[in-house]
Structure 1
Amino acid sequence: MYGFFFDPTFILVIAGLVISMIASAHVNSTFRRYDEVRSTSGITGAQAAQAILDGAGITDVSIQQVAGNLTDNYNSGNLTLSLSESTYNSTSVAAIGVAAHEVGHAIQHHTGYLPLKIRTGIFPLVNIGSNLSFPIILIGVLLSWNQTLINIGIWAFALVLIFQLVTLPVEFNASARALNILRNDGLLTSDEVPMVKSVLTAAALTYVAAVLSTFLQLLRLVLLFGGGNDRD
């Protein structure tokens, strides 16, 4: 068997990194493009988020500003919507779209959206699996190639891929909710909605890229360590 870190299958890891880098560059460039477009309404990302929450009848979610760029997130544990510096006070079309997307997650939580429940439920197990997968595989290799341990390690890493697959419908649905609300509530004009769609589509592609990258890493683990006694 080739060395774990330097072998022909390492090209899969490189391919995954390239895919992720391209997706990240695309979302950043798209956001910057539409961050230059001021919304006709003149509302900020924070104001748009609050308006959408109020419209949905959600009164227990707080909005706060956090450091960073595109670090926006919704925490269902403490019911906090965190908007990054590039979103909170910005009146750009891009910022309003990102804020609306995060509110989409709050609405999912409020309405009991099933994929979000599943993702939240499996997160602790996924976190354990991602941290222990490589140590378990290494121990299995050191113990005279204990295939049972190696397979457990591979399955533990596969939990990450499962989590990311469940994340896809959560993110796509949040974006769809955001677009519908922005369009129907008149927070953006008909010309501005397609701009937001471009931003949210670019952001969604980063999650697709993450799935592809993790799949390639999992494939590499199977090729390297899933061969049973074939270790030459």
Structure 2
Amino acid sequence: MYGYGFFGPSYLLIIIGLVISLWASWYVNHNFKKYDEVPSDHGTSGADAARFILDNAGLQNVQIQRVSGKLTDNYNPTNKTLNLSESTYNSTSVAAIGVAAHECGHAIQDQTNYAPMRARAALVPAVNLGSNASIPLIIVGAILGMNQTLIQIGIWLFALVVLFQVVTLPVEFNASSRAVKILGSGDLLTSNEVPMVRKVLFAAALTYVAAVISTALQLLRLIIVFGDNRN
């Protein structure tokens, strides 16, 4: 009965989550590649655009660094650095400027103490514990004759991961909204290029939505399989 529950119909939830995640990954890469081939009329690089946005926001203290990889761009609030990937730093494409502006949006969130960003940061220690300990606890609980105490603790810890991803959504959407608004001023992109950036950032935001759905489906499966001791 246990084996049937673990590898039975509920496994379809994992497959659905995987398909959604793969589609979202393909969609963001497709859009980035498409608009990465469109050079901006102003010829501004991703790094120069980021510096311009940060300086205008009074964030001269935020340093811009180039990091390896593609679409590995991020803002680190701990050391106040904006890290731009190789595909963004020197590129003058519409996509690169959009990505750089999005990361600047995170820096501005940090400057203004944006509440969801603070909430996400506060959840990090608990989420690290949840992501590392949840599945081992559930497995140990199952091995010990479906020990419901361990299993329920594991499920609650896994739920923290879902919560973290949910809190991440407004952080990412808000950063994109800020980016589009900044780029809409006309200093870095033309009015014809802004809709292209909007498509790139919307596609990127969908990857976070896909992550929430995928992880929530995994949580639902854990509840179905391990949520009670009838198996």
- Letter of the 1:116 counterpart: M
Amino acid at match of 1:140: G
CA distance in 2, matches of 1:96, 1:140: 49
User: Match of 1:22, SS?
Assistant: helix
- Aligned partner letter, 1:16: G
Aligned 8 A contact 2:6 2:225 in 1: no
Partner of 2:106: 105
**Counterpart of 2:224 in structure 1: which amino acid?**
L
> Could you list the runs of 5+ residues in structure 1 that have no partner in the other structure?
none
Question: Between the two proteins, what is the percent identity of the paired residues?
Answer: 64
Residue by residue, what CA displacement relative to the aligned partner does 1:155-191 show, whole Å, maximum 9, x if unpaired?
0000000000000000000000000011125211110
Superposed displacement of residue 26, structure 1:
0.3
More divergent stretch after superposition (200-209 vs 57-66): 57-66
Q: Does 1:191 align with 2:166?
A: no
Q: Which residue of 1 aligns with 2:44?
A: 43
Aligned to 2:59: 58
Deviation at 1:9, TM superposition (A): 1.2
Structure 1 match to 2:203: 202
Q: Which runs of 5+ in 2 are unaligned?
A: none
Within 5 Å, which residues of 2 pair with 1:12-27?
12-27=13-28
Aligned structure 1 segments of 4 or more residues deviating by more than 4 angstroms = none
Structure-to-structure mapping, 1:150-229, within 5 angstroms: 150-227=151-228, 229=229
Total equivalences in the alignment: 230
SS at match of 1:126: helix
Distance in 1 of aligned mates of 2:186 and 2:194: 12
Counterpart amino acid of residue 160 in structure 1: V
Q: Distance in 2 between matches of 1:144 and 1:128?
A: 24
TM-score (norm 1): 0.97
Q: Does 1:230 align with 2:230?
A: yes
- TM-score if structure 2 supplies the norm length? 0.97
CA RMSD of aligned residues (A): 1.0
